Chain A
Amino acid sequence: MALRFAREGAAGLSLVARHADKLNAVGDEIRKLAPKIDIITIQADVSKPRDIERIVATTLAQFKGVLDVLVNNASTIGPSPMPYLLDYPVEDFREVLDTNLMGPFLLIKNALPAMIERSGSIINVTSDAGQVGYPGWGAYGISKFGLEGLSQTWASELQETGVRVNWVDPGNMNTAMHRVAEPEEDPSEWADPADVTDVFVFLASDESKGLTGKRFQAQEDWRARLNDEAREEDEAGELKSSS
């Protein structure tokens, strides 16, 4: 996703990850791809509130207080193989919620002041496990249920600020985390993460201004659904005015 944003001409990128080696490798690749981009890499753990303060402060120091887009895609699956809730170690459960739910909450809370004046865009990454209670998906699924509720509440509270909050289910993707979660499945049937970035670019761009509080499925025809919804809203409006 970072590479795609760089290709689309982002002026600046702040990338955050727990592991410096992978983070720096992506940073270097982006610098080669877009030499003029203002890029910063921050090694941090979003399950730690102090790290979140540091992420936001360092980013805003780099970008002189300006931030337009926040993508919350850091996530952890928890123990593997995934235990049933009855067997779930409490500390592991808490760690998953801290990363997948508290992390986005605190990142939004800290970053929002810089985004309000610029009518920024917040994009939270969810999962179908945030809508269906699959057995064994324990803390991960519950954290995503929470993230969807968090996104809805932020969207409604920020309605009049111009900041938009939307959330994206990228669908089955061939990521290290997914391979750990479902080792018996064939990952070649899953999408490459690079192939589901269109919706993120759309939500980060001015094209999505005014669009908030919506759930997107990256591997479906979300543009057609948006058009259908817009048409239905127009028709409802016409019906109302004619009655």
Chain B
Amino acid sequence: MAFTFILPPELSAKEPPERRGIRRDQVRLLVIDRATGRIEHTRFDKIDNYLRAGDLLMFNSSRTLPASLRGCDCSATHGPCMEVRLAERLSDDSWLALLVCEQGDPFGCGLRAGMEIAFAEELTATVLERDAHIPRLWKLRFSISGAAFVDLIYRLGRPIRYEYVSAPWDLDYYQTVYATEPGSAEMPSAGRAFTWKLLLDLKRRGIDSAYMVLHTGLSSYLDDELDREHPASEEEYFVSRITAAKINQTRKAGGRVIAVGTTVVRALESATNENGSVMEAHGYTRLKIDNQHRLRAVDGLLTGLHEPEASHLDLLSALLPVEQIHAAYGEAIARRYLWHEFGDLNLIL
């Protein structure tokens, strides 16, 4: 269904809101009413005006990793150096990663299976093979794993940054306030605007929260053609028994389940059975959601503004007719909304 539009470069949020002189919860909010198609423009800290007692906000509490590492091919003398962008941890404890050469063609420095990459004295990786689904990604086996690996990448890594950000912001700027278990290559950014004060205020008003984990992969493979195809990456997710029960109770009682981020929609729709019940689950999902998908677990969505032809736009069409999304995005551009992880937000209810 993907529609396209031209996103003026100045509408990319270059700084976190806190560095633009506003609080994280003072970004703008574009609200679309699913029933009427009506569009409203407000500020995120007024989101409670659109929620009601009995609603459940579903968050992805995955913590962002400093997933960008610098390493050099140590299997050859004077081997090339590269940026290694971790994408996904696989069930056999290997990782999918994007390898970007430091010099010249980003993918032309002799990347190959069997290559050894050294990051530091204590950390090396062997390149095993190309990924079958997303050929820009390589499968890597690191010399250590588990918590020791996390400890080391927090010493060596930096958050993944794209060219539109104005400075190398610290990892702290790439975290939601409720992040727990580390594992995401990029921040699940739809929830970035929430503060604890707002969450507690909402709870007092009967709007509850629940958490699941989906470790996000990369949003770009630095390859326009591949990015246009927007292949669905395989992402690990966990839905606990308590969270599943909260969702099912909410829906049974007539409340709405509002996903904070497209990652939540993918995880919950992956964990829902034919009867519409969300189940406790741990797995990997490649679920692609578009206008052919009938949503079973989610009634509303809070999300960022997505790039032209991004797969997330396909997902929005499961909630709204394409024309309405197009109209809303037209208004967002006209009103100078900001895109990307530090940008403004879109609530669809």
Contacts and interface: CB of A to CB of B under 8 A. Distances in A.
Interface of A: 40, 42, 49-50, 53-54, 57-62, 64-65, 113-114, 116-117, 157, 160-161
A49 B196 CA distance: 20
A62 B213 contact: no
15 contacts: A40-B147, A53-B172, A57-B63, A57-B65, A60-B63, A60-B181, A60-B182, A61-B182, A62-B146, A64-B181, A113-B178, A114-B181, A116-B178, A160-B200, A161-B200
A61 B179 CA distance: 12
A208 B146 CA distance: 33
Contacts of B151: 42, 54, 58
Interface residues of B, number: 25
Interface in B161-215: 171-172, 177-183, 196, 200, 203-204, 211, 213
B177 A113 contact: yes
A53 B146 contact: no
A57 B172 contact: no
A49 B171 CA distance: 10
Contacts of B200: 160-161
Contacts of A61: 146-147, 150, 181-183
Contacts of A50: 154, 171
A161 to B, nearest CB: 7
> Interface SS of chain A: helix, strand, loop or mixed?
helix
B67 to A, nearest CB: 12
B270 interface: no
A169 B87 CA distance: 46
Nearest to A116: B178
Nearest to A57: B182
A57 B154 contact: yes
Contacts of B203: 160
Contacts of A42: 151
A58 B150 contact: yes
Contacts of A54: 151, 154-155
A49 B177 CA distance: 16
B180 A60 contact: yes
Interface string B266-279: 00000000000000
Contacts of B216: none
Contacts of B213: 65
Interface in B294-337: none
B170 to A, nearest CB: 8
> Which 9 A/B pairs are nearest by Cβ-Cβ distance?
A65-B181, A54-B154, A62-B147, A61-B150, A57-B182, A114-B180, A58-B151, A65-B180, A113-B178
A49 B172 contact: yes
Contacts of A49: 172
B150 A65 contact: no
The winner among A61, A116, A157 for most chain B CB atoms within 10 A is A61
Contact of B211 (A58, A59, A62, A117): A117
Contacts of A113: 61, 177-180
A63 B82 CA distance: 32
A59 B151 CA distance: 9
B342 to A, nearest CB: 19
A117 B211 CA distance: 9
Contacts of A114: 180-181
